[in-house]
Amino acid sequence: MSGRPWRVLVADDEPVTRLLIRAALEKAGFQVFLAEDGEDALRLFSAEPCDMVLLDVNMPGLNGHQVCAHLRHQLGDEFPIVMVTGMDDIDSIRRAYDAGATDFIVKPVNWPLLGHRIRYLFRGVQVLKDLHAANARNAAILQALPDSLLRLDADGMVLAAHLTNADQELTGRPMPGDHISAVLPADIAHRMLKAAELARIGGDGLTVNYALSRNDGTEHHYEARLADITGEETLCLVRDVTERKNAERDIQRLAYVDSLTGLPNRLSFIQRLEREIKRARREGDRLAVLFLDLDGFKNINDSLGHGIGDLLLQRAADRLRQGVRPADLVARADPLDTEVNLARLGGDEFTVLVPSLHHADEALGLARRIHELLRRPFVLDGREIVMTASIGIALFPDDGEDADALLMHADTAMYHAKDEGRDNCQFYRTALTLEAMRRLTLESSLRQALERGEFFMAYQPQLDLATGRVQSLEALIRWRHPERGLVSPMEFIPAAEESGLIVLIGEWVLRAASADAARWVAAGTPVRVAVNLSAVQFMQPELVGRLRTILAETGLAPQWLELEVTEGVLMEDSAATLNTLQVLRQDGMQIALDDFGTGYSSLSYLKRLPLNRIKIDKSFVRGLPADKENLAIVRTIVALARNLGFTLVAEGVETLEQACLLRDMECEALQGSYISEPVAGEAVPALLSARWPLTAT
Ligand code: C2E
Ligand code: CA
Ligand code: CA
């Protein structure tokens, strides 16, 4: 008690004793209130509440016991009430305790000791109060704690338990006297007891991690911390760490899984590959890495939007999953791990690991199967999209000793596959690495080519079968590289498209071809010139404006300019595409659909497009007339074009036989080496005056 002195109420009917007690207590520093009898004591107490009451047992009216019982009832267990009794009155002492007295003092009172005695009693009271406060604090802490708490004895008996509601649901409510193994599964209880023992002999930071399943099937993770209390008792604090565990697992997932497709990502593929390389090295095994890239995916993304692009990637991933699952290939792999064989590296690139290979042919077989799987059209958003893939294969140990080298070489092989024409598969060979290096420098050389005027145009005639004359020319760009000589557009156009340089190059082509065409018109030999437009160019909002400027600057009437676009461009069934085409047509330009049949899409949308003609792709003309499949395809395309009212040009016509066949099918025009290879502008006038009377063999 700080500040004010302790207040003691003394009730005694004997005036002398009263005064003596007062003198003794005041001397000891207490403040004293005196009552003459029981009633007086109660009255005084309610007027002046005190910290302790001293009651004489024998008083007239209410005796000490009665007052004691009354106050005890009123003030609760802890309030100190001291009875003053006769020394030999054992019965009275017993009754004093019955009435709830805290202690007693016997008469005759030892006056010099009285003060000490009372002070000692007060100290006891204070200790008790502190203890109660401490208990209340502990209880509050336990309530506030999100943890469950067990106190165990050395044998693993529960001494006390405080469980959160959630934990009670799971384990029930352990009672003091239960053994820990009745609360938790045996193996966990065993680990807990071991840790408790360690805690008792002085180990610290002891934790036991375990998981329990709820009735609803969800798994909960716990972390129990054990601390020694007295050497006999252990405190066990149990925390539900499920959320933390889940978060850790999610982070793990994010780090290793591609969120779009749910496939393992690059990181997890590389780690898996590294493990497999180690194993293969140890066991003298061979393995293969397939690097797969979807053909023309960029076009789909550009023309149909990223939503469809993402959807297509997901569907493709699903098919690939089917493709790599068959047991024959992954028989030796852990079935749970099978999926790791397939990964998405990013964009439209996927990889497949064949962990154990007998022959290189097996990898090729898998690549073929993947090609088959992808070939079935994807139906997205009511549209049919045909997707092919280019696949490169690198082998361990043949093509590289580590994961980086294998992946890089498989990538190189994939590019080679693309160059071979899409929907293709290639193994890595050392020579290809050089080519990869060249690819890197290609972009910067293309810029220089534009600046240094290394490009020029070639023209390939299209024979009009009705007149036997050349009425149009396809303009094809040529690049005379200062060191490498002529470089094929098949090599540099894709690079130009990827880097965006195609916009500048394409504009150069349009201007050059328009200028040439304007000259031929002026010379009295008018001929239509067909210029190839890349998808990237077509998507430029400035396209129409640029075309008008170029026509105006070169003085070419729009009817002599034809634009060749591919299906990828037209696939975007949007108002903008349709609008651009309509504006070009209204201006008087012609539109041809190039490479018809190699694209992705169904044909129903063609009807709405303002096209003039369709060009049958050379891959269908090749092998005619012997190739029955191609023959059937060409017949179908001819019928379709008739139906939709488009004229037809066949590309890649190389023989008289092909020319006659196409003529008989009523194809309107022919283009190909049988008529003429592409020629330089100077050679065009000669072609324009020539005639090709087609006579059947
Ligand atoms: P493409 O539009 O399909 O052009 C026809 C290609 O077939 C030309 O190849 C042509 O030389 C070739 N060819 C002609 N006759 C025959 C034949 O009888 N048999 C075979 N097998 N092929 C024949 P080239 O000139 O190498 O052009 C390749 C591709 O490069 C073109 O394919 C076109 O997609 C692109 N390209 C060419 N010039 C340009 C251009 O100025 N702009 C754009 N964006 N692309 C261009
Ligand atoms: Ca073309
Ligand atoms: Ca073509």
Residues whose CB is less than 8 angstroms from the CB of residue 54 and which lie 6 or more positions away in sequence, other chains included:
8, 9, 10, 11, 12, 21, 82, 84, 105, 118
* CATH number of the CATH domain containing 77: 3.40.50.2300
- Does the residue 257 lie in any domain? no
Please give the angle made by the CA atoms of 462, 466 and 467, to the nearest 5 degrees.
Answer: 75
3-state helix, strand, coil in the chain (%, to 5): 50, 25, 30
pTM of the model: 0.48
- Whether ligand 1 lies within 6 angstroms of the CB of 493 is answered as yes
- Averaged pLDDT, groups of 10, the chain, 697 residues long: 82 91 92 94 92 92 92 90 83 88 88 90 89 88 83 89 78 82 88 87 80 84 88 87 87 84 90 93 92 90 88 92 59 38 92 84 80 86 86 91 94 88 77 52 86 96 94 96 92 85 95 98 96 90 94 97 88 78 96 82 72 93 90 90 91 95 94 96 94 68
608 and 493 within one domain: yes
Q: What is the pLDDT of residue 526?
A: 95
285 and 164 within one domain: no
The residue out of 240, 270, 294 marking a domain boundary is 240
568 and 511 within one domain: yes
Q: How far, in Å, is the centroid of ligand 1 from the Cα of 595?
A: 10
Ligand lying closest to the C-alpha of residue 672: 1
Query: Which is the closest atom of ligand 1 to the Cα of 489?
Result: 30
Please give the angle made by the CA atoms of 266, 267 and 271, to the nearest 5 degrees.
Answer: 115
DSSP string, 413-473: HHHHHHHT-SS-EEE--HHHHHHHHHHHHHHHHHHHHHHHT-EEEEEEEEEETTTTEEEEE
Q: What is the pLDDT of residue 599?
A: 64
User: Are the C-beta atoms of residues 92 and 84 closer than 8 Å to each other?
Assistant: no
Please give the angle made by the CA atoms of 156, 162 and 163, to the nearest 5 degrees.
Answer: 100
Q: How far apart are CA 385 and CA 315, in angstroms?
A: 11
Q: How far apart are CA 358 and CA 360, in angstroms?
A: 7
The residue out of 395, 428, 461 marking a domain boundary is 428
- Does the residue 477 lie in any domain? yes
504 and 478 within one domain: yes
- Kindly report the protein residue whose alpha carbon is nearest to atom 41 of ligand 1: 477
Cβ atoms within 10 Å, residue 315: 17
3-state SS class at 595: strand
271 and 133 within one domain: no
Q: How far apart are CA 419 and CA 473, in angstroms?
A: 26
609 and 496 within one domain: yes
Cβ atoms within 10 Å, residue 293: 20
DSSP H helical ranges for 85-164 = 90-98, 111-144
Supply the DSSP symbol for 354: E
670 and 536 within one domain: yes
Q: What is the pLDDT of residue 602?
A: 56
- Kindly report the protein residue whose alpha carbon is nearest to atom 7 of ligand 1: 652
568 and 451 within one domain: yes
In the chain, how many domains are there?
4
* CATH number of the CATH domain containing 273: 3.30.70.270
- Whether ligand 1 lies within 6 angstroms of the CB of 672 is answered as yes
- Whether ligand 1 lies within 6 angstroms of the CB of 476 is answered as yes
User: Are the C-beta atoms of residues 428 and 414 closer than 8 Å to each other?
Assistant: no
Closest CA to 30 of 39, 40, 17, 21: 21
From 651, 658, 676, give the residue whose CB has the most ligand 1 atoms within 8 Å, as the site to mutate.
651
How many CA within 13 A on the CB side of residue 602?
Answer: 12
DSSP string, 526-586: --EEEEE--HHHHH-TTHHHHHHHHHHHHT--GGGEEEEE-HHHHH---HHHHHHHHHHHH
Q: How far, in Å, is the centroid of ligand 2 from the Cα of 478?
A: 14
- Does the residue 693 lie in any domain? no
394 and 498 within one domain: no
Strands 148-153 and 81-86: unpaired
Query: Which is the closest atom of ligand 1 to the Cα of 671?
Result: 15
Strands 81-86 and 233-240: unpaired
The residue out of 189, 206, 240 marking a domain boundary is 240
Closest CA to 352 of 385, 378, 377, 374: 374
183 and 35 within one domain: no
* CATH number of the CATH domain containing 221: 3.30.450.20
- Does the residue 254 lie in any domain? no
The single residue listed with the structure tokens 């109420």 is 9
Residues shown for the chain: 697
- Whether ligand 1 lies within 6 angstroms of the CB of 678 is answered as yes
- Does the residue 192 lie in any domain? yes
Please give the angle made by the CA atoms of 145, 191 and 242, to the nearest 5 degrees.
Answer: 45
- Whether ligand 1 lies within 6 angstroms of the CB of 491 is answered as no
User: Are the C-beta atoms of residues 196 and 234 closer than 8 Å to each other?
Assistant: yes
Q: How far, in Å, is the centroid of ligand 1 from the Cα of 476?
A: 6
134 and 150 within one domain: no
The single residue listed with the structure tokens 């789909």 is 300
Strands 148-153 and 342-346: unpaired
Q: How far apart are CA 33 and CA 41, in angstroms?
A: 9
- Whether ligand 1 lies within 6 angstroms of the CB of 421 is answered as no
Please list, residue by residue across 95-131, b when 16 or more beta carbons sit within 10 angstroms of its beta carbon and e when fewer do: bbeebbbbbbbebeeeeeebbebbeebbeebeeeeee
- Does the residue 434 lie in any domain? no
- Residue 638's domain comprises 441-688
